[in-house]
Structure 1
Amino acid sequence: MAKKNAFYAQSGGVTAVINASACGVIEAARQHPEVIGKVYAGRNGIIGALTEDLIDTSQDSDNDIAALRHTPGGAFGSCRYKLKGLEENKAEYERLIEVFKAHDIGYFFYNGGGDSQDTAHKVSQLGDRLGYSIKCIGVPKTVDNDLPLTDNSPGFGSVAKYVAVSVREAALDVASMARTSTKVFILEVMGRHAGWIAAAGGLAAEQEGDAPHIILFPEIPFEQGRFLKKVDASVKDYGYCVVVASEGVRNQEGQFLSETGSRDAFGHAQLGGVAPFIAQMVKERLGYKYHWAVADYLQRAARHIASRVDVEQAYAVGKAAVEFAIRGKNAVMPTILRASHDPYRWEIGSAHLKDVANVEKTLPQSYITQEGFGITEEGRSYLAPLIQGEDYPPYKNGLPIYVELKNVPVEKKLKEAFTLR
Structure 2
Amino acid sequence: MAAGTLLYAQSGGVTAVINATASAVVAEARARKVKVLAARNGILGALREELVDTSKESAAAIRALAHTPGGAFGTCRYKLKSLEDDRARYERLLDVLRAHDVRYFLYNGGNDSADTAHKVSQLAREFDYPLTCIGVPKTVDNDLAVTDCCPGFGSAAKYTAISVREAALDVAAMAETSTKVFVYEAMGRHAGWLAAAAGLAGEGGDQAPHLILFPERTYDEADFLARVEKTVARVGHCVVVASEGIRTADGRFVADAGGGKDSFGHTQLGGVASHLAGRVKDALGMKVHWTLPDYLQRSARHIASQTDLDHALAVGKAAVRFALDGRNATMPVIVRTSDAPYRWKIEPAPLEKIANREKTMPAAFIRRDGYGITAKARAYLEPLIRGEAYPPYGKDGLPRYVTLRNEVLRQRLEPWKG
Q: TM above 0.5, one fold?
A: yes
AA aligned to 1:340 is S
Q: Does 1:210 align with 2:207?
A: yes
2:169 aligned counterpart, secondary structure: helix
For residue 2 of structure 1, report the CA deviation from its aligned partner.
5.3
Where in structure 2 are the equivalents of 1:64-213 lying within 5 Å? Answer: 64-213=61-210
Distance 1:87 1:285 in 2: 52
AA aligned to 2:170 is D
- Structure 2: segments with no counterpart, 5+ residues: none
Offset from partner CA, 1:117-144 (integer Å, 9 cap, x none): 0000000000000111110001000000
Tell me the matched-pair count. Answer: 416
Equivalent in the alignment of 1:278: 276
Equivalent in the alignment of 1:323: 321
Equivalent in the alignment of 1:380: 378
- Structure 1: segments with no counterpart, 5+ residues: none
Offset from partner CA, 1:218-237 (integer Å, 9 cap, x none): 00000111101110011111
Counterpart selection for 2:217 from 183, 198, 220:
220
AA aligned to 2:227 is K
Equivalent in the alignment of 1:27: 27
Provide TM-score, normalisation by structure 2.
0.99
Equivalent in the alignment of 1:254: 251
CA contact (8 A) 2:20 2:312 kept: yes
Q: Does 1:244 align with 2:241?
A: yes
2:253 aligned counterpart, secondary structure: coil
Offset from partner CA, 1:231-268 (integer Å, 9 cap, x none): 00111111100000000000011110011231111110
Equivalent in the alignment of 2:330: 332
Equivalent in the alignment of 1:59: 56
1:399 aligned counterpart, secondary structure: coil
Offset from partner CA, 1:305-362 (integer Å, 9 cap, x none): 0000000100100100000011111000000000100110000011101110000000
Distance 2:103 2:292 in 1: 42
Distance 2:277 2:151 in 1: 32
Distance 1:419 1:13 in 2: 25
AA aligned to 2:405 is K
Distance 2:90 2:352 in 1: 17
AA aligned to 2:8 is Y
CA-based RMSD: 0.8
Equivalent in the alignment of 1:401: 400
Identical residues among aligned pairs (%) = 60
Provide TM-score, normalisation by structure 1.
0.98
AA aligned to 2:248 is N
Distance 2:269 2:203 in 1: 31
For residue 208 of structure 1, report the CA deviation from its aligned partner.
3.7
Query: Following superposition, which runs of at least 4 residues in structure 1 exceed 2 angstroms of deviation?
Result: none
Distance 1:169 1:408 in 2: 42
AA aligned to 1:405 is L
2:215 aligned counterpart, secondary structure: coil
Where in structure 2 are the equivalents of 1:304-383 lying within 5 Å? Answer: 304-383=302-381
Judged with a 3 Å threshold, the aligned counterparts in structure 2 of structure 1 residues 120 and 201 are, in CA distance, closer, same or farther, namely same
